[in-house]
């Protein structure tokens, strides 16, 4: 389960310029958690996300801060 601190940007989403995304189906914390845990698209566009293996295509910041992104990196 992904920790709640990772959902702190829900407030930003509610003030997003595209008002079509300022709806409960996109900003409800429980819906967001399900989408993230199932690696689904937050905006119901049909995208499916997946973990990736790090390689030299990623920035030094990502490479040097892997612990921050552990849940998103394929091990």
pLDDT at 15 over 70: no
Mapping DSSP to helix (H, G, I), strand (E, B) and coil, where does residue 5 land? helix
pTM for the whole thing? 0.59
> E-assigned strands of 1-75?
none
pLDDT of residue 65: 92
**What is the band of 29 on the pLDDT scale with cuts at 50, 70, 90?**
confident
**What is the band of 1 on the pLDDT scale with cuts at 50, 70, 90?**
very low
Write out the residue range of the structural domain in which residue 44 sits: 4-72
Query: Percent of the chain beyond pLDDT 90?
Result: 21
65/69 Cα distance (integer angstroms):
7
Q: How many domains does the chain have?
A: 1
């Amino acid at each position: 389960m992904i920790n709640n601190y990772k959902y702190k940007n829900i407030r930003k989403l509610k003030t997003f310029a595209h008002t079509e995304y300022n709806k409960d189906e996109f900003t409800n914390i429980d819906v967001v958690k399900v989408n993230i845990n199932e690696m689904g698209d937050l905006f119901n566009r049909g995208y499916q996300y997946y973990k990736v293996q790090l390689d030299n295509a990623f920035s030094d910041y990502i490479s040097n801060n892997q612990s921050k992104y552990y849940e998103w990196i394929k091990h």
